[in-house]
Structures are given as C-alpha cells and as structure tokens.
Amino acid sequence: MKKYRGIQFLLCSVMMVFGLTVFAEQQQEKQDPAAAMRDVDKLVDIMEQTGIELEHIQLHDGIAHQTFEQWEEAQAFATRIGQAMGLALIEQPSPADIPNAPTSTAFHFEEQTQQQHQDEHTANKTARTMLRVIATPQEAGWDTYLTINIQFDATNDRDQTMQQLEIVFKALENEQIVPQFDTCTQGIINDKLTDDIQIKKLNKLLDLLGAQVVEKVEDPTVKSLSAYSPDFPFYIWTNGKKMNLQAATHVDHLNSQTRITVGTPIITIEY
C-alpha cells in the first residue's frame, strides 16, 4: 500500500520556487529504530569522509492520521500520544477557540529539559523530540495530522538517542501509525566554495552513496541535486523517476562558509 505524505508538500514548494513540477509518492513500508539510525550513520559517515564538519541531524515524519467525529476525541488522542512519547505539553488551543474553531488548532509537545551528562572528555546531551498534533475542522469531524522531529548532533549519546527513538516508534505503533522517518544531516565547510566546486562536492557525496542524479537545480546562492540509490529502502517519484536522496549547498558569504545538507528521501530542514 502507498500513501501521500505530508512532507511532500515541502518538496513541491521548494521545487515550484525553481519552476519545476514535482509529483511525489512515498512508499508505505515498515521502519524500525535500528533502520532509521542506519540511514543516519550512512549520511554522517559520508559527510565526514568528504571533510564536512557535522552540525545537525534530524529525523522527521509527517503523518495524516484519522478523522475524529468529536473534538474531545482529537484532544484525547493528542494528549495520549504525547504522554506515550514522554513529552510535556507546551502549547494547546485555548478553550475559547474550541469546539467551533474555523481553522486548524494545534497541540505542541516536547521535552521540558535537556538532560546532560558530563565526563572528562565531553558533554553528551539527549536528542530533542518535538511532536505537533494539528486538528482541522471538516464536515465529517476533525482531521488530525502529526509532525515529529527528533534533533541531535555528534555529541549526543547514541544509546540514549536509540532509547528515545524506540519510545517514539512504540507510541506511534500503539496508535496503528506506521513510522517512516526522513533523515537529514547538515554541516559546514569553512570556505566559500565556487559554483563548480560546490557541484563537484555534491556529486562526490552522491557517488559515495551509490546514487545516480535524476534532477539538478541551480540558483546564484543554492545548488541542489536529487538522486536515487538502491542502498536506501524508501523513495518518492519526481517527474516519473525514483528519488531518495537530495544534496544541496548554500554559501554563507557573511561567515565565509558553505553549508552542505543531505537528506533521504529529501531535505527537510532549512538550508
């Protein structure tokens, strides 16, 4: 079975800016925490091999869930899944806004504190998990949509990150939701790379990932290559071609840096 995923709208928005038409469909297959971390490891390893200083790692999932007949059911679902992930409710709709809200309302959950562990070499902090549950009024009731972001970096304790992933996956599966996270890594090179060097760097990244380029976008400040590699299990369709990797550069002239971002199947963080 296949489903259209919410994150596709981000890809479409980016491509439409550059005048391209993209039709994307994501496979609906089961993923587990170990598989998600394997994708992370692949991207991190390739970035390190090519001399990129890693800054950010993000796992992202966007899920159209179900329609609840009553507002109270949508509210109970949001509360239940947030608690199951061990997250604190940071933001919720005002009672005055419901149950007759004309537009979407949202519940926002995340950790209240960032636990840290000090040793003689480094400070390791846990990954940051954020959950947003959006309820939108429709004739049949309240449509619900979830976005989950798990953010971490090279200083994070791997075992703790895996534990958080397992908690998130279990919470989703308990609600009959199939987890399917997109992976994104971002780093910098302390130099303003010329246009030709940027493209060479992106091609090198994709070559090491065993990927073939299917689409290219160039802008005065941004270069982006879309590609397909059989080493990654999930893919989307773009202009009739399979795609499951996106690599992009952005030159920061102010700080004399080049930011490089790699995502599977697409980039889901700002670059």
Q: Last residue of some domain: 149, 180, 211?
A: 180
Alpha-carbon gap, residue 256 to 189, rounded angstroms: 9
Q: Which of 180, 204, 233 is the last residue of a domain?
A: 180
Does residue 202 contact residue 213 with C-beta atoms inside 8 Å? no
Same structural domain, 174 and 208: no
Q: Check whether residue 263 and residue 205 sit in a common domain.
A: yes
User: Where does a domain end: 124, 159, 180?
Assistant: 180
162: pLDDT confidence band, cut at 50, 70 and 90? Answer: very high
pLDDT at 219: 83
At residue 95, does pLDDT exceed 80? no
Query: Does the structure show a pLDDT above 80 at 85?
Result: yes
Q: List, for residues 103-145, the tens digit of each pLDDT value.
A: 778 889 997 544 444 444 444 567 899 999 999 988 889 999 9
Are 210 and 268 contained in the same domain?
yes
pTM: 0.81
Does one domain contain both 90 and 134? Answer: yes
Q: In terms of Cα–Cα distance, which of 127, 63, 60 is closest to 265? A: 60
Predicted local confidence at residue 154, as pLDDT:
79
